[in-house]
Amino acid sequence: MRRVVTACGLAFWWMCACGGAQSAQSPSVASGVSAWQDEFDRDGLPDRGRWDYEVGFIRNNERQYYTRDRLENARVENGLLIIEARRERFQNADYTSASLTSRTSWTYGRIEVRAKLPRGRGTWPAIWTLGTNIREVGWPLCGELDIMEHVGFEPGRIHANIHTRAYNHVQGTNKGNSIVVSAPDAEFHVYAAAWTPDRVEFFVDGRRFFMFAKEPGGDAVWPFDKPQYLILNLAIGGNWGGQRGIDDAAFPARYEIDYVRVFPASP
Protein backbone atom coordinates (compact mmCIF):
# COMPACT_ATOMS: atom_id res chain seq x y z
CA MET A 1 0.00 0.00 0.00
CA ARG A 2 1.16 3.54 -0.72
CA ARG A 3 1.28 5.95 2.19
CA VAL A 4 -1.32 8.70 1.86
CA VAL A 5 -0.98 12.00 3.68
CA THR A 6 -4.21 13.85 4.37
CA ALA A 7 -4.09 17.21 2.62
CA CYS A 8 -7.33 19.10 3.25
CA GLY A 9 -6.83 22.84 3.29
CA LEU A 10 -3.02 22.76 3.28
CA ALA A 11 -0.76 24.91 1.13
CA PHE A 12 1.97 22.90 -0.58
CA TRP A 13 5.24 24.39 -1.74
CA TRP A 14 6.44 22.08 -4.47
CA MET A 15 10.02 22.41 -5.64
CA CYS A 16 12.61 19.97 -6.92
CA ALA A 17 15.19 18.25 -4.71
CA CYS A 18 17.84 20.91 -5.26
CA GLY A 19 15.43 23.61 -4.07
CA GLY A 20 15.15 25.31 -7.44
CA ALA A 21 12.48 25.45 -10.10
CA GLN A 22 11.28 22.27 -11.79
CA SER A 23 13.12 21.19 -14.92
CA ALA A 24 11.32 21.24 -18.24
CA GLN A 25 11.88 17.53 -18.71
CA SER A 26 10.02 15.88 -15.86
CA PRO A 27 7.96 17.27 -12.95
CA SER A 28 9.50 14.98 -10.33
CA VAL A 29 9.13 15.24 -6.56
CA ALA A 30 11.99 14.26 -4.31
CA SER A 31 9.90 12.47 -1.69
CA GLY A 32 7.78 10.53 -4.20
CA VAL A 33 4.95 10.50 -1.63
CA SER A 34 1.61 11.85 -2.74
CA ALA A 35 -0.36 14.14 -0.46
CA TRP A 36 -3.69 13.05 -1.93
CA GLN A 37 -4.52 10.33 -4.39
CA ASP A 38 -7.09 7.95 -5.76
CA GLU A 39 -5.87 4.70 -7.32
CA PHE A 40 -9.44 3.57 -8.10
CA ASP A 41 -8.95 0.14 -6.57
CA ARG A 42 -12.50 -0.40 -5.26
CA ASP A 43 -15.30 -1.18 -7.71
CA GLY A 44 -18.57 0.71 -7.64
CA LEU A 45 -19.36 4.39 -7.39
CA PRO A 46 -16.43 6.79 -7.00
CA ASP A 47 -15.25 7.25 -3.42
CA ARG A 48 -17.65 9.71 -1.79
CA GLY A 49 -14.93 10.73 0.63
CA ARG A 50 -12.81 12.02 -2.24
CA TRP A 51 -15.27 13.08 -4.93
CA ASP A 52 -18.43 15.12 -5.36
CA TYR A 53 -20.39 15.79 -8.57
CA GLU A 54 -21.60 18.65 -10.69
CA VAL A 55 -25.23 18.02 -11.63
CA GLY A 56 -27.31 19.26 -14.53
CA PHE A 57 -26.55 21.58 -17.42
CA ILE A 58 -23.53 23.52 -16.20
CA ARG A 59 -21.64 25.56 -18.82
CA ASN A 60 -20.58 26.28 -22.40
CA ASN A 61 -23.92 25.33 -23.99
CA GLU A 62 -22.92 21.69 -23.70
CA ARG A 63 -25.43 19.00 -24.63
CA GLN A 64 -24.97 16.55 -21.78
CA TYR A 65 -26.79 16.35 -18.45
CA TYR A 66 -24.29 15.63 -15.66
CA THR A 67 -25.66 13.01 -13.28
CA ARG A 68 -24.93 12.11 -9.65
CA ASP A 69 -24.32 8.61 -8.23
CA ARG A 70 -25.25 6.93 -11.51
CA LEU A 71 -23.12 3.93 -12.42
CA GLU A 72 -23.94 4.32 -16.10
CA ASN A 73 -21.99 7.60 -16.11
CA ALA A 74 -19.32 7.27 -13.40
CA ARG A 75 -18.01 4.07 -11.87
CA VAL A 76 -14.84 2.32 -10.79
CA GLU A 77 -14.13 -1.04 -12.40
CA ASN A 78 -10.98 -3.10 -12.88
CA GLY A 79 -8.79 -0.43 -11.31
CA LEU A 80 -10.06 2.41 -13.47
CA LEU A 81 -12.43 5.31 -13.05
CA ILE A 82 -14.79 5.23 -16.02
CA ILE A 83 -16.59 8.43 -16.96
CA GLU A 84 -19.01 7.39 -19.66
CA ALA A 85 -21.08 9.64 -21.89
CA ARG A 86 -24.22 8.01 -23.27
CA ARG A 87 -26.70 8.98 -25.94
CA GLU A 88 -30.02 8.73 -24.13
CA ARG A 89 -32.96 10.90 -23.17
CA PHE A 90 -32.55 12.06 -19.58
CA GLN A 91 -33.84 15.20 -17.85
CA ASN A 92 -34.61 16.89 -21.20
CA ALA A 93 -31.13 16.11 -22.52
CA ASP A 94 -30.06 13.87 -25.41
CA TYR A 95 -26.83 12.84 -23.66
CA THR A 96 -25.69 12.02 -20.14
CA SER A 97 -22.23 12.14 -18.62
CA ALA A 98 -20.46 12.91 -15.34
CA SER A 99 -18.28 15.64 -13.88
CA LEU A 100 -16.39 14.76 -10.70
CA THR A 101 -14.98 17.42 -8.37
CA SER A 102 -12.42 16.77 -5.66
CA ARG A 103 -13.50 17.32 -2.07
CA THR A 104 -9.95 18.47 -1.31
CA SER A 105 -8.26 21.63 -2.58
CA TRP A 106 -4.62 22.68 -2.81
CA THR A 107 -2.41 25.73 -3.11
CA TYR A 108 0.70 24.77 -5.09
CA GLY A 109 1.87 21.23 -5.79
CA ARG A 110 1.89 18.83 -8.69
CA ILE A 111 -1.30 17.27 -10.03
CA GLU A 112 -0.81 14.13 -12.08
CA VAL A 113 -3.50 12.08 -13.88
CA ARG A 114 -2.93 8.96 -15.99
CA ALA A 115 -5.78 8.64 -18.45
CA LYS A 116 -7.02 7.29 -21.76
CA LEU A 117 -9.34 9.64 -23.61
CA PRO A 118 -12.54 8.94 -25.53
CA ARG A 119 -12.66 9.20 -29.28
CA GLY A 120 -15.31 10.75 -31.46
CA ARG A 121 -16.35 14.13 -32.80
CA GLY A 122 -18.22 16.07 -30.15
CA THR A 123 -16.42 14.59 -27.13
CA TRP A 124 -14.61 17.03 -24.85
CA PRO A 125 -12.81 15.42 -21.87
CA ALA A 126 -10.86 17.60 -19.46
CA ILE A 127 -8.65 17.68 -16.37
CA TRP A 128 -8.75 21.12 -14.77
CA THR A 129 -8.98 23.20 -11.61
CA LEU A 130 -10.99 26.15 -10.32
CA GLY A 131 -10.46 28.44 -7.34
CA THR A 132 -12.47 27.50 -4.28
CA ASN A 133 -13.51 31.16 -3.98
CA ILE A 134 -15.52 31.00 -7.22
CA ARG A 135 -18.82 31.57 -5.39
CA GLU A 136 -17.46 34.74 -3.79
CA VAL A 137 -15.55 36.33 -6.66
CA GLY A 138 -16.91 34.50 -9.72
CA TRP A 139 -15.16 33.29 -12.84
CA PRO A 140 -12.55 34.13 -14.12
CA LEU A 141 -11.27 36.05 -11.07
CA CYS A 142 -11.14 32.74 -9.18
CA GLY A 143 -8.58 31.41 -11.69
CA GLU A 144 -8.65 28.27 -13.81
CA LEU A 145 -5.89 25.83 -14.77
CA ASP A 146 -6.66 23.57 -17.73
CA ILE A 147 -4.23 20.67 -17.39
CA MET A 148 -5.69 18.69 -20.29
CA GLU A 149 -8.46 19.36 -22.80
CA HIS A 150 -9.11 17.34 -25.94
CA VAL A 151 -11.81 18.06 -28.49
CA GLY A 152 -12.77 15.06 -30.57
CA PHE A 153 -12.67 16.87 -33.91
CA GLU A 154 -8.88 17.35 -33.40
CA PRO A 155 -7.74 13.80 -32.56
CA GLY A 156 -4.47 13.66 -30.68
CA ARG A 157 -4.06 17.38 -29.95
CA ILE A 158 -3.84 18.09 -26.22
CA HIS A 159 -4.46 21.62 -24.97
CA ALA A 160 -3.40 23.39 -21.76
CA ASN A 161 -4.57 26.88 -20.78
CA ILE A 162 -4.83 29.31 -17.91
CA HIS A 163 -7.77 31.66 -17.37
CA THR A 164 -7.77 34.77 -15.19
CA ARG A 165 -9.63 38.08 -15.28
CA ALA A 166 -6.87 39.51 -17.48
CA TYR A 167 -6.34 36.40 -19.60
CA ASN A 168 -9.39 34.37 -20.57
CA HIS A 169 -11.07 32.90 -23.63
CA VAL A 170 -14.11 35.20 -23.44
CA GLN A 171 -11.84 38.18 -24.12
CA GLY A 172 -9.68 36.15 -26.48
CA THR A 173 -6.66 36.78 -24.25
CA ASN A 174 -6.25 33.34 -22.66
CA LYS A 175 -2.74 31.93 -22.59
CA GLY A 176 -2.00 28.33 -23.51
CA ASN A 177 -0.44 25.88 -25.90
CA SER A 178 -1.09 22.48 -27.42
CA ILE A 179 0.88 19.37 -28.27
CA VAL A 180 0.17 16.34 -30.48
CA VAL A 181 0.18 13.08 -28.51
CA SER A 182 0.31 9.55 -29.91
CA ALA A 183 -3.08 7.79 -29.79
CA PRO A 184 -4.50 9.32 -26.59
CA ASP A 185 -7.75 7.43 -27.24
CA ALA A 186 -5.94 4.07 -27.45
CA GLU A 187 -3.09 4.50 -24.95
CA PHE A 188 -2.74 5.89 -21.44
CA HIS A 189 -0.72 9.08 -21.01
CA VAL A 190 0.21 11.05 -17.91
CA TYR A 191 -1.08 14.63 -17.82
CA ALA A 192 0.44 16.88 -15.15
CA ALA A 193 0.69 20.43 -13.88
CA ALA A 194 3.48 21.65 -11.60
CA TRP A 195 2.28 24.71 -9.69
CA THR A 196 4.63 26.89 -7.64
CA PRO A 197 4.36 30.41 -6.20
CA ASP A 198 5.89 31.87 -9.37
CA ARG A 199 4.77 29.66 -12.28
CA VAL A 200 2.59 26.83 -13.55
CA GLU A 201 4.08 24.26 -15.94
CA PHE A 202 2.09 21.74 -17.96
CA PHE A 203 3.35 18.32 -19.07
CA VAL A 204 2.38 15.21 -21.02
CA ASP A 205 4.43 12.13 -20.17
CA GLY A 206 7.05 14.33 -18.50
CA ARG A 207 7.45 16.65 -21.49
CA ARG A 208 6.71 20.30 -20.75
CA PHE A 209 4.74 22.05 -23.48
CA PHE A 210 3.39 25.17 -21.75
CA MET A 211 4.46 27.43 -18.88
CA PHE A 212 2.79 30.50 -17.40
CA ALA A 213 4.98 32.65 -15.15
CA LYS A 214 3.62 35.00 -12.49
CA GLU A 215 3.29 38.58 -13.67
CA PRO A 216 2.60 41.86 -11.85
CA GLY A 217 -1.07 42.83 -11.63
CA GLY A 218 -2.42 41.08 -8.56
CA ASP A 219 -5.32 38.64 -8.64
CA ALA A 220 -6.48 39.84 -12.05
CA VAL A 221 -3.35 38.32 -13.56
CA TRP A 222 -2.22 35.76 -10.98
CA PRO A 223 -5.03 34.43 -8.74
CA PHE A 224 -3.04 31.24 -8.15
CA ASP A 225 -1.90 31.91 -4.56
CA LYS A 226 -5.21 30.54 -3.30
CA PRO A 227 -6.68 27.00 -3.16
CA GLN A 228 -7.93 25.27 -6.29
CA TYR A 229 -9.99 22.09 -6.56
CA LEU A 230 -9.81 19.45 -9.29
CA ILE A 231 -12.42 18.58 -11.91
CA LEU A 232 -12.55 15.48 -14.13
CA ASN A 233 -15.34 15.66 -16.70
CA LEU A 234 -16.48 14.48 -20.09
CA ALA A 235 -18.50 17.11 -21.91
CA ILE A 236 -20.42 16.58 -25.13
CA GLY A 237 -20.79 19.33 -27.71
CA GLY A 238 -20.74 22.89 -26.46
CA ASN A 239 -19.13 26.08 -27.68
CA TRP A 240 -15.82 24.41 -28.42
CA GLY A 241 -16.35 20.65 -28.38
CA GLY A 242 -19.39 20.90 -30.64
CA GLN A 243 -17.97 23.24 -33.27
CA ARG A 244 -18.05 20.45 -35.88
CA GLY A 245 -21.08 18.63 -34.60
CA ILE A 246 -21.48 15.38 -32.67
CA ASP A 247 -20.92 11.92 -34.11
CA ASP A 248 -23.59 9.77 -32.47
CA ALA A 249 -21.73 6.64 -33.58
CA ALA A 250 -19.12 7.45 -30.90
CA PHE A 251 -21.45 6.52 -28.02
CA PRO A 252 -21.10 5.24 -25.43
CA ALA A 253 -17.85 7.21 -25.08
CA ARG A 254 -15.48 6.15 -22.29
CA TYR A 255 -12.96 8.36 -20.50
CA GLU A 256 -10.71 6.03 -18.46
CA ILE A 257 -8.59 7.29 -15.55
CA ASP A 258 -5.99 5.03 -13.96
CA TYR A 259 -5.01 7.30 -11.08
CA VAL A 260 -5.01 10.83 -9.71
CA ARG A 261 -2.06 11.91 -7.52
CA VAL A 262 -1.28 15.24 -5.96
CA PHE A 263 2.29 15.77 -4.70
CA PRO A 264 3.40 18.30 -2.09
CA ALA A 265 6.78 19.94 -1.64
CA SER A 266 9.73 18.07 -0.27
CA PRO A 267 10.40 18.97 3.37
Going by pLDDT thresholds of 50, 70 and 90, the confidence category of residue 29 is: very low
Other Cβ atoms closer than 10 A to 1: 5
Q: Are the beta carbons of 113 and 257 closer than 8 angstroms? A: yes
Dihedral angle sign, alpha carbons of residues 120, 152, 188, 227 = negative
Mark whether 77 is an active-site residue.
no
Q: Using the predicted structure, report yes or no on whether residue 183 has a pLDDT greater than 60.
A: yes
Catalytic residue among 149, 187, 201, 215: 149
Q: Using the predicted structure, report yes or no on whether residue 98 has a pLDDT greater than 70.
A: yes
Residues 41-69 have a mean pLDDT of 98
Report the mean per-residue pLDDT for the chain: 89
Q: Using the predicted structure, report yes or no on whether residue 22 has a pLDDT greater than 50.
A: no
Which among 265, 262, 191, 203 has a CA at the least distance from the CA of 31? 265
Which among 12, 233, 264, 255 has a CA at the least distance from the CA of 129? 233
Count of CA atoms in the C-beta half-sphere (13 A) of 204: 25
Going by pLDDT thresholds of 50, 70 and 90, the confidence category of residue 23 is: very low
Q: Where are the domains of the chain?
A: 37-263
Tell me the C-alpha to C-alpha distance, in Å, between residue 30 and each of 23, 202, 264. 13, 18, 10
Q: What pTM did the predictor assign? A: 0.89
Architecture of domain 37-263: Sandwich (2.60)
Dihedral angle sign, alpha carbons of residues 13, 14, 17, 22 = negative
Q: Using the predicted structure, report yes or no on whether residue 102 has a pLDDT greater than 70.
A: yes
Mark whether 144 is an active-site residue.
yes
Catalytic residue among 62, 84, 144, 201: 144
Going by pLDDT thresholds of 50, 70 and 90, the confidence category of residue 153 is: very high
pLDDT at 25: 40
Q: Using the predicted structure, report yes or no on whether residue 17 has a pLDDT greater than 60.
A: no
